A and B are shown apart, each in its own frame.
With several copies, the nearest count.
Chain A
Amino acid sequence: MADKVYANAAAALEGLTVDGITVMAGGFGLCGIPEKLIAALRDSGAKDLTCISNNAGVDDFGLGLLLRTRQIKKMISSYVGENKEFERQYLGGELELEFNPQGTLAERCRAGGAGIPGFYTKTGVGTLVAEGKEHKEFGGETYILETGLVADVALVKAWKADPYGNLVYRKTAQNFNSVMATAGKVTIAEVEELVGPGELDPDRIDTPGIFVQRLIVGQGYEKRIEQRTVREAA
């Protein structure tokens, strides 16, 4: 089998970091973001990127790194609240932005990966989101047409992988990762641990290896927390 495991993030991106490509990046806030691959994409210098990601990172972490270096031309996101540089570029007209409702964004990625070019949803009917979109009635209710999304490269973060590219995620760090893994023409996964063949329970695999073309093991995960909220121990 063509070996899916690459030495590091830069090697895994080789040949793919062309200006103007569309990149999906998993994660919710800073939870489960492909932090090594994003840093390597920044280092690659690829620019005019369209980034599909639920959020845009913070100023010095996650996709914020690519904003600082002006490598992103357009974002497709549901919420971008934590990023001053984003705000500055957007208000200055330097950055295009397309807001999608979070569930619509997730479903568009899932649809793209599953060969569904369009689907109808109630979400956003009667709002700005519905403007210019086809409306259709089903059972007396109005729905709008949303389209599937695919990316030239999808970057995802998982917990463990085996050499076949099978991935498992951990807790809420799954979020958009498993969906986006299906929607990349090339999907690159970074994981905390590479296990041997047969060590993952075949009934518990979140992303079957068919979706993963390249794979790296990341070192020293930062896993930054945005809102550390604690209670007193009893």
Chain B
Amino acid sequence: MPWTRDQMAERAAKELQDGFYVNLGIGMPTLVANHIGEDIDVTLQSENGMLGMGPFPTEDEVDADLINAGKQTITELKRTSYFSSADSFGMIRGGHIDLSVLGAMEVAENGDIANWMIPGKMVKGMGGAMDLVAGVKRIIVLMDHTNKAGESKFLKACSLPLTGKNVVDMIVSDLGVFRRLDHDSPFQLIELAPGVTEEEVRSKTEAHYEVAL
């Protein structure tokens, strides 16, 4: 049975290590925060200018001056610091963030990612996504394996305008996990969701990948 969204987030959370600074994208990636192991200490960055993001506030704690990059109300922690947007993206662009988990519309076998626009549809903008994929040390994509039409989202080449070129290090889909060792290597299928077969993955994947289960 394919992983649920929550299980996908749980699987991605296993990539977090003690002491990591992590940026979680808007949408499904925010679920990763619920699965951070209790034995490790991770600091979440929010690109609107905060390091050390806490949980959602209680009704009493809501503060309009304290939101995350998804514009959700949040809270601070004892470790929190605030800074400008320029300093925040200096942190991101300068390679100081260890890991980012992002959603995607398409990922290509060469590590390209598309997650910001569909030609012909209203484009909302890339926000901080291009900065994150260019600057963060390791990029994990969390996405459904196929789109609503059942077509593979892990492709030979992206058809949509790119967010970044050769930047993805790992894909966690509802069917399994692909990883590559570096940006010159091919992706390897390293894990399957329970009950999902290698054949099922192959039939639903356009991209070339190696198998290393």
Residues of A within 8 A of B (CB): 1-2, 28-32, 54, 77-81, 87, 90-91, 99, 101-107, 109-110, 112-116, 121-129, 159, 162, 164, 166, 169-179, 182, 197-198, 202-203, 205-206, 208-211, 223-234
Partner pick for B65 among A107, A113, A166, A172, CB 8 A cutoff:
A172
Whether A79 pairs with B81 at a CB distance below 8 angstroms is no
Q: A-B contact count, CB below 8 Å?
A: 242
Whether A173 pairs with B65 at a CB distance below 8 angstroms is yes
Residues of B within 8 A of A (CB): 18-19, 21, 41, 43, 45-52, 55-60, 62-74, 76, 78-86, 88-97, 112, 117, 122-131, 134-135, 161-166
Whether A101 pairs with B128 at a CB distance below 8 angstroms is yes
**Given A127-B161, A227-B70, A227-B72, also A103-B89 (CB < 8 A):** yes
- For the complex, what is the distance from the CA of A229 to the CA of B161, rounded to whole Å? 32
List 19 interface pairs A-B (beta carbons < 8 Å), by A numbering: A79-B124, A80-B125, A103-B88, A106-B88, A107-B86, A107-B90, A113-B90, A114-B89, A125-B134, A126-B162, A127-B162, A128-B161, A129-B126, A172-B50, A182-B90, A197-B79, A209-B51, A210-B91, A229-B73
Partner pick for A175 among B49, B55, B63, CB 8 A cutoff:
B49
**Chain A's nearest CB lies how many Å from the CB of B55?**
6
- For the complex, what is the distance from the CA of A227 to the CA of B48, rounded to whole Å? 15
**Given A80-B125, A174-B49, also A127-B85 (CB < 8 A):** no
